[in-house]
């Protein structure tokens, strides 16, 4: 775990300077005795204050919850206290989570990150960067400003990591919340942050007839729910206000927040949190929601049984429960999407989320919801070599096996090959062979077929942007505050700088370093681009974070003014708007503004019109 000890540290360290201002004092000789007494008292008081300050940095922070007392660690670089690896629930394999039922005397250590959940990474991948994986992984981490006490009642933001429901962990350095907490203190609106783990892949989202019969579906979502209940019961002991909890997540984390709002038919979420920040994901549209007994899931489950030697067991689920964890883990890696994914179980997820949203089954929880300009450059890159319209149609049939030919043709007609496409900052050439973006990709030894940008536009709207608009509109229709944004800033440009996940521009996950206000030198491990080291981009990053902090603190992103950012209007059905977060590189200028959210109406409405048809695989439907 040595590599994890520094995950919230950075080469750019903050320092705290203090001093005393002395001013000469003259008094009559007859007052000398009084002065000496006062000076002695002042010196004694100053000594006691210095001793207290010294102790505040040497005596570890503690917090006493219902079960017992935890000891955390102080992080002087940020002026923060950390409580790490705290268990929040019990979870036997393929069982529903249970509340912690033990108490202890003395003090338990919470100074180190503990374990991540099994994920769809090949064995050794996480271990190579110092991360231990285990089934006993339901833990959380708390980051608070130093000096916070149980009476501070700070607003709380809970980070729900993404990763496609098969990857990620709460202590990932790419989602380091220390910078956001530090900025909140500088703003005079201090908050605390909590990051959580939840079960992933087959361990978190199993399927099959026995899974459905025992009601052990959507375990990862239920884990998240238990974390939120633990926070309600215990966060006050760490100085947080349980009535001011906001969830914040990206991609699968944002989808998770949508599911938490819609859970159990939209009942009860408001008792656990009051707001959500949904970054590049939502519960509606692109969630590929299947029943847990869908044939494609059963096929994946049968493959798992064969790999674990459980195919002939009388009770296959119990057999899998008893098999060695590593064997089960390895047998689930690389299963076809969406084998291990949230499912419509009639309980936690009671119906297709798009239906529920359109019917108004939404808990009264406000949201900020948004997406990046060029999301699909990442999600469509696997199909970057597609050259012809027949290729594009075949790929859409592969993605949407239940779609009728007429539906596929309607989608292609709404996204013609010569229409503006990601990256929207570059025009589409009438001659695909001379397209400037494709030329730049090829210069970087990357693939770019004639249909790539078109497919990227389709995938942008299907996977993120359509759900963003649907969520904002239907929340507004239900009278629930919603604020929508579009991230329109290019962290990379031509010449292309390829990151692991995407070929540059404002694609999926390109916002990470901006939304956490990381300094340009912060190590993103090649997964995502850093903030560009120019004043416009650095200022934009801080502006975005300040808007989020205002929302976390008060439920309103306009609760304090932010330079260069106009008033952020609530979304309206009659006047839909986005906040556009934009900074240029060439002229080093910020162009953040409010726009009408009316563009690409035909294409975006198709995803609502055919939401259910495009969500179910094969010719089988519920």
Residues 240/553, Cβ–Cβ less than 8 Å: no
- Model confidence band, residue 497 (pLDDT cutoffs 50, 70, 90): low
375 is catalytic: yes
Task: Indicate if 244 and 370 belong to the same structural domain.
Answer: no
Shared domain for 280 and 411, answered yes or no, is: no
- Do 554 and 411 sit in the same domain of this protein? yes
Q: Tell me, yes or no, whether 236 and 135 share the same domain.
A: yes
DSSP labels for 459-495? HHIIIIIHHHHHHHHHHHHTT--EEEEEE---SS-SS
Nearest in space to 301 (alpha carbons), one of 313, 287, 286, 289:
313
Check whether 574 has a pLDDT greater than 80: yes
Higher pLDDT, 13 or 321: 321
User: Both tokens of residue 609?
Assistant: 């019109």
Dihedral, 492, 494, 498, 502 alpha carbons, nearest 10: 70
Structural domain total, the chain: 2
The 3-state DSSP composition of the chain as helix, strand, coil percent (nearest 5) reads 40, 15, 50
Strand partners of residue 157? 193, 246
Check whether residue 245 and residue 387 sit in a common domain: no
**Predicted model pTM:** 0.89
Residue 596 lies in a domain: yes
* Helix (H) or strand (E) run with residue 554 in it: helix 535-554
Query: What is the mean predicted confidence (pLDDT) over 169-176?
Result: 92
Residues 72 and 218 placed together within one structural domain of the fold: yes
Per-residue pLDDT, 287: 59
**Looking at residue 250, what is its pLDDT?**
97
**Quick one: which of 402, 430, 406, 405 has its CA closest to 416?**
430
- Give the domain extent around 128: 2-8+58-289
Residue 382 lies in a domain: yes
Assess whether pLDDT exceeds 80 at residue 39: no
DSSP type of residue 276: E
Task: Given the residues 184, 256, 375, 421, select the one marked as catalytic.
Answer: 375
- Is position 179 within any domain? yes
Query: Tell me, what's the pLDDT at 286?
Result: 60
Domain end (from 289, 316, 345):
289
Query: What local confidence, expressed as pLDDT, does residue 616 receive?
Result: 58
Evaluate whether 236 touches 64 at the Cβ level (below 8 Å). Answer: no
In a domain, 470, yes or no: yes
* Strand duo 275-279 + 240-250: pairing: parallel
Give the span between the Cα atoms of 455 and 177, in whole angstroms. 34
- Between 35 and 288, the higher pLDDT residue: 288
Check 178, 251, 509, 541 and give the catalytic one. 251
pLDDT (0 to 100) of residue 1: 36
Say yes or no: 275 and 377 in one domain. no
Q: Does position 40 have pLDDT exceeding 50, yes or no?
A: no
Q: For position 395, which CATH number holds?
A: 3.40.50.1820
- Give residue-wise pLDDT tens across range 532-558: 999 999 999 999 999 999 999 999 999
Nearest to 196 by CA among 116, 103, 302, 312: 116
Check whether residue 374 and residue 515 sit in a common domain.
yes
Closest of 512, 504, 548 to residue 531, by C-alpha = 512
> Is 35 part of any domain?
no
pLDDT more than 70, % of the chain: 86
Residues 106 and 230 in one domain: yes
Whether 318 contacts 369, CB under 8 Å:
no
251 is catalytic: yes
pLDDT digits (tens, 9 = 90+) for 75-132: 999 999 999 999 999 999 999 999 998 999 999 999 999 999 998 876 666 666 678 8
Return the pLDDT at 81: 98
Assess if residue 184 is contained within a domain. yes
CB neighbours of residue 267 within 10 Å: 12
Q: Is 284 in the same domain as 429?
A: no
Q: Render pLDDT for 62-88 as a digit per residue (tens, 0 to 9).
A: 999 999 999 999 999 999 999 999 999
Co-location of 271 and 380 in the same domain: no
**Closest CA relative to residue 86, chosen from 132, 136, 139:** 139
Between the alpha carbon of residue 345 and those of residues 77, 89, 261, 352, 515, the distances in Å are 46, 22, 16, 10, 34
Q: Residue 142 domain-assigned?
A: yes
Residue 472 included in any domain: yes
Same domain, 370 and 250: no
Q: Tell me: the pLDDT tens digits for 426-483?
A: 999 877 778 888 888 888 888 899 999 999 999 999 999 999 999 999 999 999 999 9
Burial 178-194 (b: 16+ CB within 10 A, else e): bbbbbbbbebebbbbbb
Between 111 and 564, the more confident residue is 111
Residue that terminates a domain, selected from 228, 260, 289: 289
For residue 15, pLDDT beyond 70: no
Q: Do the Cβ atoms of 612 and 355 come closer than 8 Å?
A: yes
Domain finish residue from 289, 323, 355: 289
């Amino acid at each position: 775990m040595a590599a994890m000890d520094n995950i919230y540290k950075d080469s750019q360290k903050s320092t705290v300077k203090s001093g005393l201002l002395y001013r000469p004092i003259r008094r009559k000789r007859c007052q000398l005795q009084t002065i000496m007494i006062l000076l002695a008292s002042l010196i004694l008081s100053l000594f006691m204050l210095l001793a207290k300050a010294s102790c505040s940095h040497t005596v570890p922070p503690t917090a006493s919850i219902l079960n017992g007392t935890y000891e955390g660690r102080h992080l002087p670089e940020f002026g923060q206290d950390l409580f790490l690896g705290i268990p929040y629930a019990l979870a036997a394999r393929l069982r529903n989570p249970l509340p912690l039922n033990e108490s202890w005397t003395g003090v338990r250590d919470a100074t180190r990150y503990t374990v991540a959940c099994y994920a769809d990474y090949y064995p050794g991948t996480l271990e190579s960067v110092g991360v231990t994986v285990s089934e006993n992984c339901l833990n959380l981490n708390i980051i608070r400003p130093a000096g916070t006490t149980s009476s501070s009642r700070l607003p709380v933001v809970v980070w729900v990591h993404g990763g496609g429901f098969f990857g990620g962990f709460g202590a990932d350095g790419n989602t380091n919340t220390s910078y956001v907490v530090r900025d909140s203190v500088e703003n005079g609106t201090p908050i605390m942050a909590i990051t959580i783990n939840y079960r992933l892949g087959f361990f978190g989202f199993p399927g099959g007839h026995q899974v459905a019969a025992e009601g052990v579906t959507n375990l990862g979502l239920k884990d998240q729910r238990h974390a939120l209940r633990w926070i309600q019961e215990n966060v006050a002991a760490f100085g947080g206000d349980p009535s001011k909890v906001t969830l914040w997540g990206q991609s699968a984390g944002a989808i998770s927040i949508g599911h938490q709002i819609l859970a159990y038919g939209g009942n009860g979420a408001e008792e656990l949190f009051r707001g959500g920040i949904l970054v590049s994901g939502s519960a509606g549209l692109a969630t590929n929601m299947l029943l847990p007994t869908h044939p494609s899931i059963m096929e994946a489950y049968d493959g798992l049984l064969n790999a674990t030697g459980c195919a002939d067991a009388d009770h296959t689920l119990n057999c899998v429960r008893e098999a060695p964890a590593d064997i089960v883990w390895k047998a689930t890696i690389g299963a076809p999407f969406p084998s291990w994914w949230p499912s419509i179980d009639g309980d936690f997820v009671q119906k297709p989320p798009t239906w529920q949203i359109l019917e108004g089954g939404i808990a009264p929880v406000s949201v900020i919801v948004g997406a990046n300009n060029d999301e699909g450059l990442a999600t469509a890159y696997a199909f970057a070599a597609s050259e012809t319209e027949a290729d594009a149609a075949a790929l859409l049939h592969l993605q949407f096996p239940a779609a009728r030919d007429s539906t596929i043709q309607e989608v292609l007609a709404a996204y013609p090959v010569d229409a503006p496409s990601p990256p929207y900052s570059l025009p589409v050439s009438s001659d695909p062979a001379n397209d400037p973006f494709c030329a730049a990709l090829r210069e970087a030894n990357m693939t770019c077929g004639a249909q790539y940008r078109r497919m990227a536009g389709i995938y942008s709207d299907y996977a993120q942007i359509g759900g963003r608009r649907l969520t904002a509109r239907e929340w507004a229709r239900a009278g629930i505050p919603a604020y929508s944004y579009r991230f329109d800033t290019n962290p990379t440009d031509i010449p292309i700088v390829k990151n692991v996940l995407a070929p540059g521009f404002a694609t999926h996950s390109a916002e990470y370093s901006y939304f956490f206000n990381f300094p340009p030198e912060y190590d993103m491990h090649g997964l995502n681009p850093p903030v560009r080291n120019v004043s416009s981009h650095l200022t934009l990053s801080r502006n975005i974070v300040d808007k989020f902090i205002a929302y976390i603190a008060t439920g309103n992103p306009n609760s304090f003014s932010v330079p260069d950012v106009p008033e952020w209007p609530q979304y309206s059905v009659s006047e839909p708007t986005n906040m556009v977060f934009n900074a240029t590189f060439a002229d080093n200028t910020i162009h953040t503004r409010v726009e009408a959210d009316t563009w690409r109406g035909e294409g975006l409405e198709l995803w609502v019109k055919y939401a259910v048809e495009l969500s179910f695989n094969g010719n089988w439907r519920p």
